[in-house]
C-alpha cells in the first residue's frame, strides 16, 4: 500500500496541468479564425469611407476610376465608393430623391445649372470654407457664377463644354471676308448674298437645344443674354424663324469631318461643343474660324462637385474633390476628352508652350473671366430647360414647325410672368 501511494503521488507531480491556458500564437496565421485585420503599423488614423456618385459617359467614368485609385494610394485611410449614373436625367431624379430622404451620396458631380436649385432646397453643403483665396483666383469666374446663391458658393467647378460658333473659312474668303459678321444684320446680308448665288442651306443646328440656344444668345445684346431669357422676346423669336429657313437637318453633318463637309456642302456656319472641335484633326480645324466674340453662357454644359448637406464626412469629401480637381488631373481630362478645365493656370500655360491638343487656348482665359458674367440660372431653370428641349426635339423630328415651337415656348413663358 505504501509503495502504491508513492507511485500515484509521483504521477500527479510530473504530469502537466491539462487545463492550463495555451501560450499566445506568434507570427501571422491565415488559418486562425480569430485573427483580425492586419493594421497599418505606424498609422493611427481611423479608416474613413465616402460615397461618390457621378453622371458621365462610360469612358470618362473609367478615367475617374483611375484617378480615384491614385487618390486611394496616396490616402490609404480613405475608402471611396464610386458609382456612375450615365443618364443625366436619371441622376437628377435619383439625387433629388435621395437628398430629400437624407440617404444620398456624400459627393455628386452634377450639371452646374442644377446647383442653385438643390442649394435653395437646403440639400447641399456650402463650399466657401474649403475655397481659399488662391483657389478662387484659379477658378474661372463664369464657371463659379451659377454656383452662387445667397452669398455662398455651393459647388466646385470640374469642367466645361461650351458651344462655339465655327465659320467656313473658304466661304468667307470667297465673299472677301476675313472675319465673321459682327451683328445679326451683317449675318443676314451675307446669308442673302449666298442664297442669291445658289446656296440653300447655310447653317447646321444639332438636335440638342443647347446648341440652338447658344446660337441665338451669341447674337443677343448684353442686357438680353442668359439661358433664362432665351426665346422670351420677340427679337430672338424672329431670329429663330429666319434661321430655320437656312438650316439643314441635324442628321446630315458628320462632326468628325466638319471642316471638309462644310466646304463640300457650302455651309457658312455651325455650332458645336468645344470638345467636338478639339477632337478634329489640325487639318480640319484649319478649315474653320472660331467666332470668339460670340461665346456666351460658358457654364452651359459645365459640371461641378457638390457635397450633401446631410453628409457626416464633409471634410473627407472635400479632400477627395481637391485631389480630383488638381491642375494635373484637369489637364489630363482636357487632353483625353476635350472638356475645358476649371483652372485658369492651365490656360496661362498654353500662352507659353504647347498646342491646343495639350492645353486649352490662352484666348479663352479672358472669355471665362471678364465681365459681364451672365445671369445665373433661376432655381427652376432645369424644369423649364427640359420643356424647351422636348419641344425642340418635336421640331427637329418634323412633328411641329418652327412657328409652333416658338408659340409653345413664348406662351408658357408669358403664363409664368
Model confidence pLDDT, tens digit, residues 128-140? 877 665 677 899 9
- Residue 18 pLDDT class (50, 70, 90 cuts): very low
**Strands 247-248, 340-341: pairing kind:** unpaired
Angle at which helices 234-244 and 209-218 pack, to 10 degrees? 120
Do residues 242 and 190 touch, judged by C-beta distance below 8 A?
A: no
Name the strand (E) or helix (H) holding 72: helix 58-74
**Strands 48-54, 78-84: pairing kind:** parallel
Closest CA to 277 of 203, 345, 357, 366: 357
Residue 286 half-sphere exposure, CB side, CA atoms within 13 Å?
A: 3
In whole angstroms, give the CA distance from residue 270 to residue 335.
Answer: 24
The ranges of the chain annotated as CATH 3.40.190.10 are: 48-161+300-369, 163-297+380-416
Residue with the three cell numbers 426635339: 393
Closest CA to 114 of 85, 82, 149, 140: 149
> With 70 as the cut, is the pLDDT of residue 205 above it?
yes
Give the CATH architecture of domain 163-297+380-416.
3-Layer(aba) Sandwich (3.40)
pTM over the 0.75 mark: yes
What is the predicted pLDDT for the residue at 411? 72
- Residue 94 pLDDT class (50, 70, 90 cuts): very high
Question: How much is the average pLDDT of 254-258?
Answer: 74
Do residues 225 and 297 touch, judged by C-beta distance below 8 A?
A: yes
> With 90 as the cut, is the pLDDT of residue 39 above it?
no
What is the predicted pLDDT for the residue at 160? 96
Closest CA to 297 of 125, 138, 186, 165: 165
CA torsion, ordered 71, 75, 78, 81, to nearest 10 deg: 10
In whole angstroms, give the CA distance from residue 124 to residue 366.
Answer: 30
In whole angstroms, give the CA distance from residue 196 to residue 37.
Answer: 80
Q: Which CATH class is domain 48-161+300-369?
A: alpha beta
Max mean pLDDT among 8-17, 99-108, 382-391 falls in 99-108
Q: What is the pLDDT of residues 341-380, one digit of tens each?
A: 999 999 988 766 667 888 899 999 999 998 766 666 778 8
Amino acid at each position: 500500500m505504501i509503495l502504491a501511494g508513492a507511485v500515484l503521488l509521483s504521477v500527479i507531480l510530473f504530469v502537466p496541468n491539462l487545463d492550463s491556458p495555451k501560450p499566445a500564437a506568434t507570427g501571422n496565421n491565415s488559418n486562425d479564425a480569430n485573427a483580425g485585420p492586419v493594421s497599418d503599423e505606424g498609422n493611427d488614423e481611423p479608416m474613413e469611407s465616402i460615397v461618390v456618385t457621378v453622371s458621365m459617359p462610360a469612358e470618362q467614368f473609367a478615367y475617374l476610376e483611375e484617378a480615384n485609385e491614385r487618390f486611394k494610394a496616396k490616402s490609404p485611410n480613405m475608402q471611396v465608393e464610386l458609382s456612375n449614373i450615365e443618364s443625366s436625367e436619371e441622376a437628377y431624379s435619383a439625387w433629388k430623391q435621395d437628398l430629400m430622404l437624407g440617404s444620398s451620396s456624400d459627393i455628386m458631380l452634377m450639371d452646374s445649372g442644377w446647383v442653385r436649385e438643390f442649394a435653395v432646397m437646403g440639400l447641399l453643403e456650402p463650399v466657401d470654407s474649403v475655397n481659399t483665396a488662391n483657389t478662387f483666383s484659379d477658378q474661372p469666374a463664369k464657371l463659379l457664377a451659377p454656383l452662387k446663391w445667397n452669398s455662398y458658393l455651393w459647388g466646385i467647378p470640374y469642367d466645361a463644354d461650351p458651344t462655339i460658333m465655327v465659320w467656313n473659312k473658304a466661304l468667307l474668303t470667297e465673299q472677301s471676308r476675313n472675319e465673321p459678321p459682327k451683328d445679326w444684320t451683317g449675318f443676314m446680308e451675307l446669308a442673302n448674298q449666298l442664297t442669291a448665288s445658289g446656296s440653300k442651306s447655310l447653317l447646321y443646328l444639332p438636335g440638342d437645344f443647347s446648341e440652338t440656344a447658344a446660337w441665338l444668345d451669341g447674337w443677343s445684346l448684353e442686357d438680353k443674354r442668359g439661358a433664362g431669357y432665351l426665346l422670351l422676346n420677340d427679337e430672338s423669336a424672329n431670329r429663330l424663324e429666319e434661321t430655320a429657313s437656312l438650316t439643314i437637318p441635324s442628321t446630315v453633318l458628320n462632326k468628325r469631318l466638319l471642316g471638309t463637309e462644310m466646304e463640300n456642302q457650302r455651309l457658312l456656319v455651325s455650332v458645336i461643343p468645344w470638345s467636338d472641335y478639339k477632337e478634329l484633326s489640325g487639318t480640319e480645324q484649319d478649315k474653320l474660324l472660331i467666332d470668339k466674340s460670340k461665346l456666351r453662357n460658358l457654364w452651359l454644359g459645365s459640371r461641378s462637385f457638390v457635397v450633401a448637406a446631410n453628409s457626416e464626412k464633409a471634410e473627407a469629401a472635400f479632400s477627395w474633390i481637391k485631389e480630383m480637381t488638381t491642375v494635373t488631373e484637369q489637364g489630363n481630362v482636357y487632353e483625353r476628352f476635350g472638356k475645358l478645365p476649371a483652372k485658369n493656370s492651365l490656360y496661362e500655360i498654353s500662352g507659353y508652350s504647347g498646342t491646343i491638343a495639350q492645353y486649352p487656348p490662352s484666348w479663352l482665359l479672358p472669355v471665362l473671366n471678364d465681365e459681364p458674367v451672365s445671369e445665373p440660372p433661376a432655381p427652376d431653370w432645369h424644369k423649364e430647360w427640359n420643356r424647351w428641349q422636348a419641344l425642340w426635339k418635336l421640331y427637329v423630328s418634323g412633328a411641329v414647325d418652327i412657328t409652333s415651337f416658338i408659340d409653345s415656348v413664348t406662351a408658357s413663358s408669358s403664363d409664368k410672368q
